[in-house]
């Protein structure tokens, strides 16, 4: 495989398994410095060992972070930023599905925290390194979204879903947040060399279907024969993060599926993106203040 990514640094969250792992292995095989971030240290170490072995690239490293806990994201993000003053690509891929509503020790609903707020905070922490890459050649930030973003608009008065919680509903809303964050990130930092995008990987054969409650489990069972493998699911992420094709280089905050731009939900508006960014900034501000200490 062509070593076309030598000299570039990639950070991929949730990369110990699934499409994150497949993408990290691809980037390493092409010569990139690869940082994977995940919650489970042993699974992360196993993933690093496998990627190093399969790719022949020893420049693959693990940072442990629980993306449902902002304090954990700050600790790991600070360490990554100290070691990598320039980051060319950030793939915000970590995510979870929860059939029952759970609240973290920091007071956030678990799906909201793990799928949106943790990645949003990490992006803020790593902004200096992304902007450094943006100065020459450009940086990219890719968010793993989903067709599930169409399941319904955000309730900005109840982002923690304290009322009417359902696993698939919470997951779909978090994927809408990923789409909106990618759009607003480009609006705010595109002119400074950061290009962002979001994508739907397709119905991939992963364990996440069993964690979305009865409905999610049923969908997983009935749909399993028609689901795609992880390599196909990772294709658009890899393309958006590393391709030199103009459509990938200039993704410009848009949402993709199979390397194309499908229609998005009518409620996925610029206004919603701006409001989500502002609220998210307020929520992570105390943790960003801790970053300076």
DSSP one-letter string for 129-197: HHHHHHHTT-EEEEEE--GGGGG----TT-TT--SS--HHHHHHHHHHHHHHHHHHHHHHHGGGTEEEE
Could you tell me if residue 123 is inside a domain? yes
CATH number, domain at 36? 3.40.50.720
Could you tell me if residue 4 is inside a domain? no
pLDDT tens profile 254-284? 999 999 999 999 999 999 999 999 999 999 9
Q: What are phi and psi of 10, to 5 degrees?
A: -120, 135
pLDDT exceeds cutoff 70 at 46:
yes
Rg of the chain taking only CA atoms, in angstroms: 17
Q: Which of 63, 84, 165, 171 is catalytic?
A: 171
Tokens at residue 223, please? 């749909």
With a CB cutoff of 8 Å and minimum separation 6, the contacts of 151 are 168, 169, 172, 173, 176
pLDDT tens profile 178-224? 999 999 999 999 999 999 999 999 875 555 444 445 444 444 443 44
Number of domains observed in the structure of the chain: 1
- Half-sphere exposure at residue 222, Cβ-oriented, CA atoms within 13 angstroms: 6
Could you tell me if residue 2 is inside a domain? no
What is the pTM for the complete model shown?
A: 0.92
Picking from 48, 44, 39, the residue whose alpha carbon sits closest to that of residue 75 is 39
Q: How does the average pLDDT of the chain come out, rounded?
A: 91
Distance between CA atoms of residues 159 and 162, nearest Å: 8
Distance between CA atoms of residues 197 and 192, nearest Å: 15
Could you tell me if residue 1 is inside a domain? no
Domain limits for position 172: 9-291
Could you tell me if residue 82 is inside a domain? yes
- Alpha carbon dihedral 174, 288, 195, 248, in 10-degree steps, equals -50
C-alpha angle 135-259-267 in degrees, rounded to nearest 5: 85
Share of the chain above pLDDT 70, in %: 90
Could you tell me if residue 175 is inside a domain? yes
Could you tell me if residue 3 is inside a domain? no
Length of the chain measured in residues? 293
pLDDT tens profile 135-152? 988 999 999 999 999 999
Could you tell me if residue 128 is inside a domain? yes
Active-site residue flag, 171: yes
30-46 in b/e form (b: 16+ CB < 10 A) is bbbbbbbbbbeeeebee
């Amino acid at each position: 495989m062509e070593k076309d990514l030598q000299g570039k640094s990639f950070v991929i969250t949730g990369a110990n398994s699934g499409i994150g792992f497949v993408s990290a292995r691809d980037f390493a095989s092409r010569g990139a410095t690869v940082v994977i971030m995940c919650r489970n240290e042993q699974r992360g170490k196993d993933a690093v060992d496998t990627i190093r072995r399969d790719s022949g690239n020893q420049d693959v490293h693990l940072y442990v972070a629980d993306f449902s806990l902002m304090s954990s994201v700050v600790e790991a993000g600070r360490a990554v930023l100290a070691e990598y003053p320039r980051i060319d690509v950030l793939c915000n891929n970590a995510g979870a599905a929860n059939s029952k509503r759970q609240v973290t020790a920091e007071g956030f609903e678990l799906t909201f925290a793990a799928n949106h707020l943790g990645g949003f905070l990490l992006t803020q922490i790593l902004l200096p390194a992304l902007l450094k890459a943006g100065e020459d050649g450009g940086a990219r930030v890719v968010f793993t979204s989903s067709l599930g973003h169409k399941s319904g608009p955000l309730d900005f008065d109840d982002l923690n879903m304290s009322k009417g919680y359902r696993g698939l509903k919470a997951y779909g809303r978090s994927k809408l947040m990923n789409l909106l964050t990618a759009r607003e990130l480009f609006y705010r930092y595109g002119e400074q060399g950061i290009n962002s995008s979001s994508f739907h990987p397709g119905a991939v054969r992963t364990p996440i279907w069993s964690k979305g409650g009865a409905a999610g489990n049923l969908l997983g069972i009935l749909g399993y024969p028609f689901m795609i493998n992880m390599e196909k699911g990772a294709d658009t992420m890899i393309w958006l993060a590393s391709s030199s094709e103009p459509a990938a280089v200039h993704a410009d905050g848009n949402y993709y599926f199979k390397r194309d731009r499908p229609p998005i939900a009518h409620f996925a508006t610029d206004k919603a993106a701006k409001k989500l960014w502002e609220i998210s900034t307020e929520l992570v501000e105390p943790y960003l203040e801790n970053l300076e200490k």
